[in-house]
Protein backbone atom coordinates (compact mmCIF):
# COMPACT_ATOMS: atom_id res chain seq x y z
CA UNK A 1 0.00 0.00 0.00
CA UNK A 2 1.55 3.36 -0.92
CA UNK A 3 2.15 5.89 1.83
CA UNK A 4 -0.53 8.13 0.25
CA UNK A 5 -3.20 5.58 1.26
CA UNK A 6 -2.42 6.13 4.94
CA UNK A 7 -5.36 7.42 6.96
CA UNK A 8 -4.21 9.27 10.09
CA UNK A 9 -6.04 8.02 13.19
CA UNK A 10 -7.82 10.27 15.67
CA UNK A 11 -5.30 10.47 18.51
CA UNK A 12 -7.58 12.17 21.03
CA UNK A 13 -7.56 8.98 23.15
CA UNK A 14 -4.20 7.24 23.38
CA UNK A 15 -1.49 5.96 25.68
CA UNK A 16 -2.08 6.11 29.43
CA UNK A 17 -5.30 8.10 28.95
CA UNK A 18 -6.71 5.33 26.72
CA UNK A 19 -5.77 2.65 29.26
CA UNK A 20 -7.25 4.63 32.16
CA UNK A 21 -10.55 5.34 30.36
CA UNK A 22 -10.81 1.67 29.30
CA UNK A 23 -10.17 0.39 32.82
CA UNK A 24 -12.41 2.90 34.59
CA UNK A 25 -15.34 2.27 32.24
CA UNK A 26 -14.79 -1.51 32.08
CA UNK A 27 -14.32 -1.19 28.32
CA UNK A 28 -17.32 1.04 27.59
CA UNK A 29 -14.90 3.84 26.67
CA UNK A 30 -11.89 2.89 24.57
CA UNK A 31 -12.88 -0.58 23.37
CA UNK A 32 -13.69 0.94 19.99
CA UNK A 33 -10.95 3.30 18.83
CA UNK A 34 -11.11 4.86 15.38
CA UNK A 35 -13.81 2.33 14.56
CA UNK A 36 -11.74 -0.75 15.43
CA UNK A 37 -11.64 -2.93 18.55
CA UNK A 38 -8.88 -2.61 21.10
CA UNK A 39 -7.81 -4.69 24.04
CA UNK A 40 -5.69 -4.02 27.08
CA UNK A 41 -2.55 -6.12 27.34
CA UNK A 42 -0.81 -6.27 30.72
CA UNK A 43 2.60 -7.89 30.99
CA UNK A 44 5.45 -7.57 33.53
CA UNK A 45 8.17 -5.12 32.56
CA UNK A 46 11.26 -7.07 31.55
CA UNK A 47 13.50 -4.96 33.80
CA UNK A 48 11.23 -3.98 36.69
CA UNK A 49 8.80 -6.90 36.82
CA UNK A 50 6.00 -4.35 37.42
CA UNK A 51 2.85 -4.75 35.33
CA UNK A 52 2.67 -2.51 32.26
CA UNK A 53 -0.61 -2.08 30.39
CA UNK A 54 -1.00 -1.07 26.74
CA UNK A 55 -4.11 -0.48 24.65
CA UNK A 56 -3.73 -2.26 21.31
CA UNK A 57 -5.81 -2.79 18.20
CA UNK A 58 -6.62 -6.46 17.75
CA UNK A 59 -8.02 -8.90 15.22
CA UNK A 60 -9.24 -12.44 15.75
CA UNK A 61 -8.03 -15.72 14.29
CA UNK A 62 -10.33 -18.37 15.68
CA UNK A 63 -9.96 -18.30 19.48
CA UNK A 64 -6.70 -16.33 19.23
CA UNK A 65 -6.26 -12.58 19.49
CA UNK A 66 -3.78 -10.95 17.12
CA UNK A 67 -1.87 -7.76 17.89
CA UNK A 68 0.80 -6.06 15.82
CA UNK A 69 4.09 -4.71 17.19
CA UNK A 70 4.09 -1.81 14.73
CA UNK A 71 4.84 1.27 16.85
CA UNK A 72 3.54 3.22 13.86
CA UNK A 73 6.44 2.04 11.71
CA UNK A 74 9.20 3.19 14.09
CA UNK A 75 12.62 1.58 13.59
CA UNK A 76 12.46 -0.21 16.98
CA UNK A 77 9.98 -2.61 18.52
CA UNK A 78 7.47 -1.25 21.05
CA UNK A 79 8.28 -1.83 24.71
CA UNK A 80 5.23 -4.05 25.23
CA UNK A 81 6.57 -6.46 22.59
CA UNK A 82 10.01 -6.61 24.22
CA UNK A 83 8.29 -7.27 27.55
CA UNK A 84 6.19 -10.08 26.01
CA UNK A 85 9.27 -11.72 24.53
CA UNK A 86 10.76 -11.81 28.04
CA UNK A 87 7.47 -12.79 29.77
CA UNK A 88 5.05 -14.47 27.31
CA UNK A 89 2.17 -14.77 29.80
CA UNK A 90 -0.15 -11.78 29.76
CA UNK A 91 -3.44 -10.57 31.14
CA UNK A 92 -5.98 -9.26 28.64
CA UNK A 93 -9.08 -7.17 28.92
CA UNK A 94 -11.38 -7.24 25.91
CA UNK A 95 -14.30 -4.88 26.53
CA UNK A 96 -15.53 -6.08 29.95
CA UNK A 97 -13.92 -9.55 29.78
CA UNK A 98 -10.65 -10.24 31.62
CA UNK A 99 -8.53 -13.35 31.10
CA UNK A 100 -4.97 -14.64 30.76
CA UNK A 101 -3.21 -15.55 27.54
CA UNK A 102 0.08 -16.93 26.28
CA UNK A 103 1.87 -14.89 23.61
CA UNK A 104 4.01 -15.99 20.73
CA UNK A 105 5.31 -14.27 17.62
CA UNK A 106 3.86 -15.61 14.38
CA UNK A 107 6.36 -17.69 12.45
CA UNK A 108 7.54 -16.56 9.01
CA UNK A 109 5.27 -19.25 7.53
CA UNK A 110 2.21 -18.04 9.48
CA UNK A 111 2.77 -14.31 9.13
CA UNK A 112 1.50 -13.71 5.55
CA UNK A 113 -1.92 -15.17 6.36
CA UNK A 114 -2.13 -13.42 9.72
CA UNK A 115 -0.92 -10.12 8.24
CA UNK A 116 -3.89 -10.24 5.87
CA UNK A 117 -6.21 -10.76 8.87
CA UNK A 118 -4.79 -7.80 10.82
CA UNK A 119 -4.71 -5.44 7.84
CA UNK A 120 -8.38 -6.17 7.17
CA UNK A 121 -8.99 -4.68 10.63
CA UNK A 122 -6.42 -1.85 10.41
CA UNK A 123 -5.16 -1.20 6.85
CA UNK A 124 -2.63 1.37 8.11
CA UNK A 125 -0.35 -1.51 9.17
CA UNK A 126 0.75 -1.72 5.53
CA UNK A 127 1.82 1.94 5.65
CA UNK A 128 3.62 1.37 8.94
CA UNK A 129 5.57 -1.55 7.43
CA UNK A 130 6.51 0.63 4.45
CA UNK A 131 8.06 3.20 6.85
CA UNK A 132 10.60 0.83 8.38
CA UNK A 133 13.18 -1.78 7.46
CA UNK A 134 12.17 -3.69 10.61
CA UNK A 135 9.97 -6.72 10.05
CA UNK A 136 6.88 -5.82 12.06
CA UNK A 137 5.82 -8.84 14.15
CA UNK A 138 2.31 -10.22 14.47
CA UNK A 139 1.75 -11.53 17.98
CA UNK A 140 -0.67 -14.39 18.63
CA UNK A 141 -2.35 -14.31 22.04
CA UNK A 142 -3.92 -17.65 22.96
CA UNK A 143 -6.32 -17.55 25.92
CA UNK A 144 -5.52 -19.92 28.74
**In this structure, which topology does domain 3-143 adopt according to CATH?**
Pnp Oxidase; Chain A (2.30.110)
Per run of 10 residues, the mean pLDDT along the chain (length 144 residues) is 56 83 94 94 96 97 98 96 97 98 98 98 96 97 97
Give the phi and the psi of residue 82 in degrees, each rounded to 5: -60, -40
For 6, the 3-state DSSP assignment is coil
Residue 137: predicted pLDDT? 98
CA distances from 34 to 38, 72, 81 (A): 10, 15, 22
Model pTM score: 0.91
Residue 2: predicted pLDDT? 46
Contacts of residue 124, defined as CB under 8 A and 6 or more positions apart, other chains included, come to: 6, 7, 9
DSSP H or E segment with residue 39 = strand 36-44
Amino acid sequence: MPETDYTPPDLSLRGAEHVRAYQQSNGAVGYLWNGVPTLLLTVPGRRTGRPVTSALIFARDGADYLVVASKGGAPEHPQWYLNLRAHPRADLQVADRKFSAVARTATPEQKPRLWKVVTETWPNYDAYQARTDRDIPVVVLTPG
